[in-house]
Structure 1
Amino acid sequence: MFESITNTEERGQVGIGTLIVFIAMVLVAAIAAGVLINTAGFLQSQAEATGQESTDLVSERIDVTSSVGIVTGTADDGELAEIRITVAGSPGADEIDLSESTIQAVGPNGQANLVFANTSANPDGVGGADAVATDIPDDHFGVRNSTGDFVDDPVINDEEQFTIVLNPQIEPFGSSTDPFGESEQSSIDIVSPSSATTSVELRAPDLFSNDNEAVRL
């Protein structure tokens, strides 16, 4: 019924061939398993990094609590001497370093990317007891603490509130001869160190009534 193999050499060749095929299958399986393990590890690392970035974009976001403009000493000029944007961290946010943040602004006088003006640096400094917003140079913004002083290390936390100060006489808000003023508009994006973005629309009233008054923007 069954055909027997009487030649011992043929029996040995069949066994070696089977062994070779078996070893090849084991090697292929091992290589495939290694590739799958490496791929799984890479995908896990990438997922963790993406998840952390997504969390930072939500939790390390800057909230704007108010935005006002300070009218110049002569309201009839229809100009602002200072733009103030009070900021805080979003609920549950970690500390946010405003000195590492940037502001992307579009206004009546074009577009500009503003960076932090360190109070002790020259010529970008705005330090000193008598410092005012118009001391802030082109392409920069200043930061005041709760007592109104310009600071070097504005880190938002649960204990301190800060105010971003913009110079209405520099681009893109205006110029030294034509500062940001009545009826004008500007939009700014405050970008935190984690790249979370907060958008703010600034709209000046049609008419300023009193000298040095604060008007809502």
Structure 2
Amino acid sequence: MFETNNDDRGQVGIGTLIVFIAMVLVAAIAAGVLINTAGMLQSQAEATGEESTELVSERIDATSAVGIVDNDGGADEGELEEIRVGITAAPGADDISLEDTIIQAVGPNGQANLVYADDDFDHDDGEVGHLDGTFVAENANDEYVAPSDAVLDNENDFTLVFDPEDTPFGDGDPFGEGDESQLDIVSPSSATTQVTLTAPDLFSEDGEAVRL
């Protein structure tokens, strides 16, 4: 009594199949995009984590800061002849090259970016001459350390040496009584340690090491 049109039923089935396939394709594309995005975010998170870890661990710690008062009997007697900052690698740090370390210094006579001195600087008789925008490191025996050997590690600590007559510490007259300077020691990984140098108001004894 009732007739069924099989052609219409076939068309509906094909339409449903097409819609289903389209939905599967859209879902697959969306899943691919999500997977790629998740991978990129994971990579960025890992890179950020590594950088953050380096900024915390690959740091140079300052252990002391003193000035050495000249006592050679010359015109500079009673003035600082050296600024010395003791340094060590932060706990857990890998080897840190001082040759690739920069010191951003601000003092009474402006500011300067100081780099490690090369092998040609004046260090006769164990004394540093004018460093002119550079700094050097000495070992436990107060011996100058060549750039290639100036590497902080678990076994080697050093003392950074600056000339108080050079910019920004001095300008003709050396960094002296009552002066203040700030050092930002920036390791190769960009980890920064800040050191404030404050000279006492009076140097009481020639040849002494005054705390800065």
TM-score (norm: length of structure 2) = 0.90
1:197 matched to 2:192: yes
Provide the secondary structure at the position in 2 that maps to 1:133. coil
Q: Matched residues in 1 for 2:18 and 2:78: separation? A: 91
User: Given that residues 89 and 157 in structure 2 are in contact (C-alpha distance below 8 angstroms), is that contact kept between their aligned partners in structure 1?
Assistant: no
Q: Once the two structures are superposed, what CA deviation does each residue of 1:118-140 show, in whole Å capped at 9, x if it has no partner? A: 22xxxxx3265435333312x21
Q: Matched residues in 2 for 1:78 and 1:164: separation? A: 22
Structure 2: segments with no counterpart, 5+ residues: none
Q: Matched residues in 2 for 1:22 and 1:55: separation? A: 49
Alignment of 1:68-217 (within 5 A): 68-73=66-71, 78-119=78-119, 125-126=120-121, 128-130=123-125, 132-137=127-132, 139-151=133-145, 152=147, 153-175=149-171, 177-217=172-212
User: Given that residues 139 and 159 in structure 2 are in contact (C-alpha distance below 8 angstroms), is that contact kept between their aligned partners in structure 1?
Assistant: yes
Provide the secondary structure at the position in 2 that maps to 1:189. strand
Provide the secondary structure at the position in 1 that maps to 2:66. strand
User: Given that residues 134 and 169 in structure 1 are in contact (C-alpha distance below 8 angstroms), is that contact kept between their aligned partners in structure 2?
Assistant: no
Structure 1: segments with no counterpart, 5+ residues: 120-124
Provide the secondary structure at the position in 1 that maps to 2:43. helix
Alignment of 1:2-21 (within 5 A): 6-21=4-19
User: Given that residues 106 and 112 in structure 1 are in contact (C-alpha distance below 8 angstroms), is that contact kept between their aligned partners in structure 2?
Assistant: yes
Q: Matched residues in 1 for 2:202 and 2:77: separation? A: 10
Letter in 2 for 1:147: N
Larger displacement relative to structure 2 (75-84 or 180-189):
75-84
TM-score (norm: length of structure 1) = 0.88
CA, structure 1 residues 76+5, in 2 after alignment: closer, same or farther (shift >3 Å)? farther
Larger displacement relative to structure 2 (6-15 or 71-80):
71-80
Task: Identify which of 7, 22, 25 aligns with 2:23.
Answer: 25
> What is the deviation of 1:77?
5.5
User: Given that residues 76 and 208 in structure 1 are in contact (C-alpha distance below 8 angstroms), is that contact kept between their aligned partners in structure 2?
Assistant: no
Percent identity over the alignment is 63
